[in-house]
Amino acid sequence: MLIIGERLNGMFKRVKSAIEQKNKKEIQAVAEEEIKAGAGMIDINVGTAAADQEGTMKWLVETVQEKFPKIPLAIDSSKPEVVLAGLKVCRNPVLINSTTAEDAKLEKLLGFAVEYKADILGLTLDENGIPSQKDERVALAAKILMTAMEMGLSPSQVYIDPVVLPVKFGQDQCLTMISAIRDIKTALNDPPPKTAIGLSNISNGAPKEMRPLINRTYLVMCLAAGLDGAIVDPYDTDLVDAMITSELLLNKQIYSDSFLKAYRTSH
Ligand code: THG
């Protein structure tokens, strides 16, 4: 599974103050820690800290790729102009995070993906919000994939995020999202698109000490349904261990008595 590190986000104090002080070393240290912990992609989100979101995104992308010229970057913003500011300077492999299934936004961001040879993540929501039914989520995934293919992207460049909602506020949705992942991987297209989620959303609002348990249990369930990637806290070693063990049990990694170590050595 692709681990997309979530720590380079302006909502964290450490990143927020590094942005304010234009402290490149600190930003590069966060990226380095995420990569060492197993991240195969770094999510970059300016958060709400900066007044100049476009300038901040540009600076963050330049700062990370200066030290890590090969690590794939996920440019994370709901604002197309902030995404574009990141894409313009990004030379690393890149994922647009994200578009929705709304017509105008979808066309605009798919246009960016074509122009900048980027992968793109589509959220299964549109002007009516996030559907509560599995079939409606899958229909929005189909719309995103079909439009992407019409514009010349391959299914392997498209990630679908079925939008994880907190268990505390909509318990029935946990299974709905898992069913959506399974359908998207098996009933949409061959080859299928990829799937990815923002995992920590599942435990939003739950007591702090319970969140890691909820996160890693849900990750294991999603992996069994075919999940390809997740935006997670890679510093959570129990979470990464659970992910590696899932890959073993799903027959994606050859068994050895030291399978955790073997995975970490090879990634
Ligand atoms: N899907 C996609 N992209 C996303 C999300 C998603 N990007 C943003 C978000 N969701 C994923 N990133 C994070 C980053 C950090 C945290 C959660 C999700 C997190 N927040 C702490 C909390 O909620 O308690 C607050 C941290 C702090 O303020 O110190 O851990 O779903 N495609």
Does ligand 1 come within 6 angstroms of the Cβ of 198? Answer: yes
pLDDT of residue 51: 87
Per-residue pLDDT, 44: 98
198-208 pLDDT, tens digit each: 999 999 999 99
CB-ligand 1 contact for 98 (6 Å cutoff): yes
If you take atom 13 of ligand 1, which residue's CA is the nearest one?
A: 6
Q: Given ligand 1 and candidates 44, 76, 121, 140, which is best to mutate, with the most ligand atoms within 8 Å of its CB?
A: 76
Q: How far is CA 164 from CA 83, 117, 201, 207, in A?
A: 22, 27, 6, 18
Span 238-249, pLDDT tens digits: 999 999 999 999
Q: What is the pTM of this model?
A: 0.97
Looking at CATH, the fold of the domain delimited by 93-235 is given as TIM Barrel (3.20.20)
Q: Is the pLDDT of residue 120 over 80?
A: yes
Instruction: Summarize pLDDT for 162-171 with one digit per residue, the tens.
Output: 999 999 999 9
Give the pLDDT confidence of 24-48 residue by residue, as tens digits.
Answer: 999 999 999 999 999 999 999 999 8
Average pLDDT of the residues in 93-97: 98
User: What spacing in Å lies between the alpha carbon of 258 and ligand 1's midpoint?
Assistant: 32
- Nearest atom in ligand 1 to the alpha carbon of residue 76 is 7
**pLDDT score recorded for residue 48:** 83
Which residue puts its alpha carbon closest to atom 20 of ligand 1? Answer: 200
pLDDT at 49 over 80: no
Residue 235 predicted with pLDDT over 80: yes
pLDDT at position 69: 97
234 Cα–ligand 1 center, Å: 12
Domain boundaries along the sequence of the chain: 1-65, 93-235
**Which pLDDT score is estimated for 218?**
98
- Establish whether residue 100 lines the binding site of ligand 1, counting it when its CB lies within 6 angstroms of any ligand atom: no
**C-alpha to C-alpha distance for 267 and 244, rounded to whole angstroms:** 11
Residue 236 has pLDDT above 90, yes or no: yes
Q: Are strands 41-44 and 94-99 parallel, antiparallel or unpaired?
A: unpaired
Q: Would you say the CB of residue 200 lies under 6 angstroms from ligand 1? A: yes
Q: Looking at ligand 1, which atom is closest to the CA of residue 98? A: 32
| pLDDT, averaged across the chain | 97
pLDDT band of residue 90 (cuts 50, 70, 90) is very high
Q: Would you place residue 251 in the very low, low, confident or very high pLDDT band (cuts 50, 70, 90)? A: very high
Indicate the pLDDT class of residue 50, thresholds 50, 70 and 90. Answer: confident
Ligand 1 site-directed mutation target among 2, 11, 215, most atoms within 8 Å of CB: 11
Q: What average pLDDT does the segment 152-171 reach?
A: 96
Kindly give the distance from the C-alpha atom of residue 163 to the centroid of ligand 1, in angstroms, as a whole number. 12
Spatial CB neighbours of 13, under 8 Å, sequence gap ≥ 6: none
pLDDT tens, residue by residue, 197-233? 999 999 999 999 999 999 999 999 999 999 999 999 9
